[in-house]
């Protein structure tokens, strides 16, 4: 788990582990539990913190999502077993304002948001990180699968050793200042099996706990129901319109659709398969068309967090990008328009690029993450 082999301890500090305080963000899952247990076993002054992000009572019966009531209980059991203090912080109002509200508004604007990125950006790596500083911790560690390496110009962000577990897409907005304080001990592990083996070694009760699947505040993946509850009237009906202007049917609300969707459109009987190619919120129209209309090469990006050498607007760069978490990186040209905006030109077209998704930048030929931004409407 060493992050800097030249340093005195495995977290990169020139002092004994027992003199190094580290706050571990504990979700109650296997990954963060192993980080806390390993660091405690190495002799670090570990403080575990779990965030209560939404109604505790409603969360108790919720399976398959992070930070629910059972997860808080599981994190506490790990802390008790390993003998370090554990605290639960009520971040419900911050989470509602910074993440859930943004999620609902983005959907209402026809975008496809990624709330886990906003949670890292606005809650875990901002508010929780400040709490860690208040506790006089030397650093904060998480269970994310990503690597922090110290380069010539300071800490760098690199993809995880296990490509199947890499979480760089969700962490592109980590700032250089945050990166100097954060540690990601699992980033160098070869597989999730290795993580579970470490959990077994420490006798952790969550060694076989399944990975979380859902967004924590969206039960059963039903985004539309959550948005309707948060924003009454959000599911106003409208028309499904072909890109050539033909009205093909009616829909139950734009929030039920995403760019690239084919199934569930309710417009069967046509001679060609049709996909959602655009959402026109103002006109309450779901615009559909043939698959080739989904392909795009030019991607406008805003709110860019730059982690590369020099300044973003130094000039065009040849890089690789991910426009969805499940897609492999594609070669592209990054053309800055300002210190925080740019146009990305993909060398080969990509389908289903949607406003609200992240566009993450990688250094072609290496493992370094160069930052990224949010895809906006062109």
Tell me the CA distances in angstroms from 317 to 303, 321, 328, one per residue in order: 18, 12, 19
Long-range contacts from 60-65, C-beta under 8 angstroms, 24+ separation: 62/219, 64/210, 64/212, 64/213, 64/214, 65/212, 65/213, 65/214, 65/215, 65/216, 65/217, 65/218, 65/219
CB-neighbour burial class of residue 69 (10 A; exposed 0-12, middle 13-18, buried 19+): middle
CB 28 within 8 A of CB 75: yes
- Nearest partner of 364 among 315, 335, 330, 325, judged by Cα: 330
Upper half-sphere CA count for residue 26 (Cβ side, 13 Å): 34
Judge whether 216 counts as a catalytic residue.
yes
Q: What is the DSSP letter of 43?
A: T
* Of 199, 247, 243, 248, residue with least CA distance to 78: 199
Q: Residue 140 forms beta bridges with which residues?
A: 23, 182
Degrees to nearest 5, angle at CA 23 with 20 and 24: 125
* CA distance linking residue 67 with residue 155, whole number of Å: 29
Local structure of 65: helix, strand or coil: coil
The single residue of 66, 67, 139, 216 carrying the catalytic annotation is 216
Alpha helices in 62-205 (DSSP H): 69-82, 92-95, 101-108, 115-119, 129-134, 176-181, 192-201
* 67: annotated active-site residue: no
What gap in Å lies between CA 282 and CA 327, rounded to an integer?
A: 30
Exactly one of 66, 67, 116, 119 is catalytic; name it: 119
User: Which active-site residues does the annotation give?
Assistant: 119, 216
């Amino acid at each position: 788990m060493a992050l800097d082999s030249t340093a005195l301890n495995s977290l990169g500090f020139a002092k004994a582990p027992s003199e190094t305080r580290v706050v571990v963000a504990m979700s109650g899952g296997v990954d963060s539990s192993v980080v806390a247990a390993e660091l405690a076993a190495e002799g670090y002054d570990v403080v575990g913190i779990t965030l209560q992000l939404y109604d505790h009572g409603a969360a108790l019966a919720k399976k398959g999502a992070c930070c629910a009531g059972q997860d808080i209980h599981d994190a506490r059991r790990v802390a008790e077993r390993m003998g370090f203090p554990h605290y639960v912080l009520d971040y419900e109002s911050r989470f509602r304002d910074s993440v859930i509200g943004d999620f609902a508004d983005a959907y209402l604007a026809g975008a496809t948001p990624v709330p886990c990125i906003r949670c890292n950006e606005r809650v875990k790596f901002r508010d929780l990180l400040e709490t860690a500083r208040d506790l006089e911790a030397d650093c904060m560690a998480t269970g994310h699968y990503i690597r922090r390496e110290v380069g010539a110009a300071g800490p760098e962000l690199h993809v995880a050793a296990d490509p199947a577990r890499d979480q760089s897409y969700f962490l592109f907005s980590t700032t250089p200042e945050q990166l100097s304080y954060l540690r990601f001990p699992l980033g160098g592990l070869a597989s999730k099996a290795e993580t579970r083996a470490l959990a077994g070694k420490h006798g952790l009760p969550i060694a076989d706990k399944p990975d979380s699947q859902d967004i924590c505040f969206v039960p059963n993946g039903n985004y539309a129901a959550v948005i309707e509850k948060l924003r009454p009237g959000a599911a106003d009906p409208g028309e499904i319109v072909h890109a050539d202007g033909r009205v093909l049917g009616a829909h139950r609300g734009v929030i039920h659709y995403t760019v690239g969707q084919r199934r569930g459109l309710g417009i069967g009987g046509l001679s060609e398969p049709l996909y959602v190619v655009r959402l026109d919120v103002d006109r309450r129209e779901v615009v559909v068309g043939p698959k080739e209309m989904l392909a795009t090469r030019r991607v406008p990006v805003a709110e860019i967090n730059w982690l590369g050498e020099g300044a973003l607007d130094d000039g065009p760069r040849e890089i690789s990008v991910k426009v969805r978490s499940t897609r492999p990186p594609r070669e592209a040209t990054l053309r800055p328009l300002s210190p925080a905006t740019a146009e990305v030109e993909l060398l080969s077209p990509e389908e289903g690029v949607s406003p609200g998704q992240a566009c993450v930048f990688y250094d072609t030929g290496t493992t370094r993450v160069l930052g990224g931004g949010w895809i906006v409407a062109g």
